[in-house]
């Protein structure tokens, strides 16, 4: 269901936007103006918000509920990337670059979201240039964090290629993020390494027995 944000939701939405990294440093009156151009939508449990490859034109703020972000491997098996709850924002990059969705999103519980469409955002910006500047600054900060995590992952991959699982796991244990989605990726990658290590140990044990 789609409609304008109900009045009782606006104050809660302002508080949630203030808690979101993307809107850090933006005054409440600017956030209220932004909420006025956002669309209130509800999603039933199991409803797909978007699929990987869909054209991107909107950003989501979760007001209530839970959303699963996932992709698929080459065989079509689902790979969970994150489970998001209020006040998480996702899909924010597409309102700037319009790139296709890099993952799929589905509600795993009845959810309420505020959705910011790119067209509405572009109409909003000329009168609220400070908001756009702060959002770009916050995105740049997030990109730096992602770049740091990826550099650690690449270093870890080199260790795995050399069979040094212990050092790889130790290095990942020292790599943390205050971003829930990034930390989920780190944890998932850690479990993958442990699985590879166990498989390698089992293979060596089998070869020794023969």
Residue 149 lies in a domain: yes
Q: Which helix (H) or strand (E) holds 38?
A: none
CA distance 2 to 135: 25
37 within a domain of the structure (yes/no): yes
30 and 92 housed in the same domain = yes
Mean pLDDT confidence for 174-187: 72
> What domain range is 26 assigned to?
2-127
Residues 35 and 99 both lie in one domain: yes
Cα gap 166→168, rounded to integer Å: 5
Residue 116 — very low, low, confident or very high, per pLDDT cuts 50/70/90? very high
Together in a domain, 65 and 91 = yes
- Whether residues 31 and 122 share a domain: the answer is yes
Residues 24 and 95 in one domain: yes
Question: Mean pLDDT over residues 170-191, rounded?
Answer: 75
Do 111 and 50 belong to one domain?
A: yes
Q: Looking at the 3D structure of the chain, how many domains does it have?
A: 2
Helix axes 28-35, 7-19, angle to 10 degrees: 130
Residue 58 shares a structural domain with residue 87:
yes
What's the chain's average pLDDT?
86
């Amino acid at each position: 269901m789609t409609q304008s944000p109900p009045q009782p939701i606006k104050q809660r939405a302002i508080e949630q936007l203030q808690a979101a990294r993307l809107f850090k440093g933006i005054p409440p009156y600017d956030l209220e103006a932004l909420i006025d151009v956002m669309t209130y939508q509800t999603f039933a449990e199991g409803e797909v918000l978007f699929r990987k490859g869909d054209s991107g034109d909107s950003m989501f703020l979760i007001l209530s509920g839970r959303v699963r972000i996932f992709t698929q491997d080459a065989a079509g098996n689902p790979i969970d990337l994150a489970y998001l709850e209020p006040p998480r924002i996702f899909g924010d990059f597409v309102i700037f670059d319009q790139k296709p969705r890099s993952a799929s999103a589905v509600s795993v519980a009845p959810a309420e979201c505020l959705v910011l469409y790119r067209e509405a955002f572009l109409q909003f910006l000329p009168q609220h240039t400070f908001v756009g500047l702060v959002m770009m600054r916050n995105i740049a900060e997030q990109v730096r964090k992602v770049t740091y995590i990826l550099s650690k992952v690449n270093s870890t991959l080199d260790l795995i290629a050399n069979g040094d699982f212990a050092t790889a796991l130790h290095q990942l244990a020292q790599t943390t993020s205050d971003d829930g989605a990034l930390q989920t990726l780190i944890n998932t990658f850690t479990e993958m390494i442990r699985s590879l290590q166990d498989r390698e140990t089992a293979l060596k044990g089998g070869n020794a027995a023969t």
